[in-house]
Amino acid sequence: MAAFIFESGATIKDPSTKKAIRSHAMRNVRERQRKEGFRDGLTFPGRKKPRHVRGTFSAARPLLPAIARSERDSFSEQTESQGLQLQDFVQAIDGAQIDSEDSTGTDVALTHCADFANHHVWRQQLGYVFLTSYYADSVVDAMLKDWHNFEPGDAAGATLNASRDALCLMGLGALYRDERLLDEGRKRHCLGLRLLRERIEGPGGVVCDGLLDACYTLAHCQIYQSVSHQGKGWQIHVEGLHFLLRRRGVESIRSPFAHATLHKMRQIATMDQLLKRKSSFLSSPEWLLSWRQNDPGIHTPALQLTDLGLQLSGALEDTDVALHGSTTGKPALGDQLRDVSLRIQSIEYELDKWLLNFYHQYGDVQEPYILTDIAKYPRFETQCHDIASLLPKVYSFPTLLSATTHCYLFILYLAIRMAQMDLAGLHPTQPATDIEALAAEANEYAVHLCRSLAYLSLPQHRSVGVLACSGPLYWASAWYERSGDSKKLQACQSAREVLERDCPTPLNMKAPVFAWWMIPSVFEDQGAFAG
């Protein structure tokens, strides 16, 4: 996801309206600014020091009623008298370059909107509020940097703006259960899809970096129930991502922005392929290696780990081919089974090496994770008491990014163990494989995933933290269903229902969303280990 750029020349025409531009009424943003030493200002990208725009952003009152009520006393009479209605706010962020029947339903902005010289101010404010409510405090800075990587100044600007508007409006609407925002977010989403189709077919559309990011952002929107098609909308959108990437070709991924967006798309593809147990063109040697040669400086642990996930999906597909053959009276040949087994073992070996390097970066300063009492997470213990009663000890991680990385590793190891059990069952005459030992290890990884839930779902991790629980719950449930552990399976289902009901991002959590997709910087070499 890229930026809503605040243009350097943007100013406010009427000085008296400066008191009405404060972009957020959110308490966590106020606390964040106080920690950074700013009393009441917003930092815009590209400025050495923020210009303090005083007063309260009155549009936040009707948009975010829960937060606005909590800060009622801080609103001045002057700001109250200048309060913008929803349609004014939406029209203000709409911008002159977006004009479509899909975005009707908003009235013409009133005189308040005419006071501003540049509509990018409003997009900047909206994006900032979304980021600070969606991501945990520890990763907001990294997300702001990611959000401001790209300036939509080309033909893709309208498409990119529509997709970002949709993501922000649906995110905030889901968080505050505000149907007005959700409705407007759906309109922006429809608009973004229509503009994307039109621009891709136009001259240079396929190789436009802005359209690449718009496509990714529209897929991100699909995690919300309002457009998610029963929680699986993002998987439907993956086909569109694949279409665009294949049309572009690996040689067209040259700019730093295109590399960053492709990295996020690869993460989506990894999740999709592991769920379907099928590989794609992204798992081919050409896409695993060639695109990096365009930029030798991007050989990072992040890419290595994503590569392993893409490779594993291909090995799982081959495992299923062997299983399918055995059920149709055509058992897989011993050589074929041996090749698949060796391939999986090779991936596991590379995972082991990656994990050792990962732990080496922690050094002696801190532990990668520690086992602690569930009582340290009273909210989780109360709400998800079924899991809490089965697992009185849970994990605590140094950072949310460390937690999501561990969960991804646990999932890969669990998938490997289950595949090895399948292969061992197909060919019992192969060199002795202890299926019981494999099952015991698979059960350990499922327990690891369940023990991570209490930390992931901490309130300070916000929407991303809850979303991060969907992957562990999905794969742990898959194992407990396979192993016949009905008690733990029921506990996982109960936890999922609680999180679906109480989470700040309404979502069908039976379709897992990896947190490492939601937090792209989890794989940045330095950001993954910072507090």
Domain residue spans in the chain? 15-204, 268-523
Task: Quickly count: other Cβ atoms within 10 Å of residue 236's Cβ.
Answer: 12
Query: What span, in angstroms and rounded, lies between the C-alpha atoms of 127 and 29?
Result: 13
158 alpha-carbon distance from chain centroid? 23
For residue 312, which amino acid is it? L
Q: Quickly tell me which residue has 């989470």 as its tokens.
A: 503
Cα angle: 214, vertex 215, 216; to 5 degrees = 90
Give residue 144's pLDDT. Answer: 76
Query: Can you read off the two tokens belonging to residue 452?
Result: 């991570």
**Secondary structure of residue 301 in the 3-state scheme:** helix
Helix (H) or strand (E) holding 393: strand 393-396
Beta carbons of 121 and 89 less than 8 angstroms apart: no
**Residue found by looking up tokens 């009273």 in the block:** 378
Give 116's DSSP letter.
B
Which residue type is seen at 153?
G
Q: What tokens appear for 139 in the block? A: 């990763």
Listed residue (523, 260, 311, 284) closest to 408, CA to CA: 523
Beta carbons of 78 and 92 less than 8 angstroms apart: no
450, 514 Cβ separation under 8 angstroms: no
Task: Please report the pLDDT score of residue 377 as a whole number.
Answer: 95
pLDDT in tens, the chain (531 residues): 332 222 222 333 433 333 333 333 334 444 544 444 433 332 323 333 333 322 222 333 233 333 223 322 332 222 233 333 333 433 433 332 333 333 333 333 333 333 344 566 778 788 888 888 888 777 777 777 777 766 555 557 888 889 999 999 988 888 888 888 889 999 999 999 999 988 888 887 788 888 888 888 888 888 787 777 665 667 777 788 888 888 888 888 877 778 777 887 888 888 888 888 999 898 888 888 766 665 555 557 778 888 999 999 999 999 988 887 655 556 556 777 888 999 999 999 999 999 998 888 777 666 888 999 999 999 999 999 999 999 999 999 988 888 988 999 999 999 999 999 998 877 655 555 688 999 999 999 999 999 999 999 998 888 888 888 888 999 999 999 999 999 999 999 999 888 877 665 555 566 666 544 444 433 333 333 333
Burial class (CB in 10 A: 0-12, 13-18, 19+), 153: exposed
Q: How far apart are CA 219 and CA 236, in angstroms?
A: 9
**C-alpha dist (Å) from residue 126 to 64, 81, 326:** 12, 21, 55
CA angle 162-166-168, nearest 5°? 120
Q: Who's near 391: CB < 8 A, 6+ residues apart?
A: 374, 447, 450, 451
Cα gap 268→182, rounded to integer Å: 24
Query: Residue 508: what pLDDT?
Result: 56
For 313, phi and psi rounded to 5 degrees?
-60, -35
Q: Which residues contact 266 (CB under 8 A, 6 or more apart)?
A: 282, 306, 310
Largest CA distance in the chain: 83
325-345 in b/e burial notation, b at 16+ Cβ within 10 A? ebeeeeebeeebbeebbebbe
Look at residues 493, 405, 485 and name the one whose alpha carbon lies nearest to residue 442: 485
Q: How many helices (H) and strands (E) does the chain have?
A: 26, 2
Residue among 143, 28, 38, 139 at smallest CA distance from 400: 139
Residue with tokens 């149709």: 328
pLDDT at residue 475 in the model: 93
Radius of gyration for the alpha carbons in the chain, expressed in angstroms and rounded: 24
Both structure tokens of 295: 């930029």
Q: Which of 265, 6, 264, 37 is closest to 128 using CA atoms?
A: 6
The reported pTM is 0.73
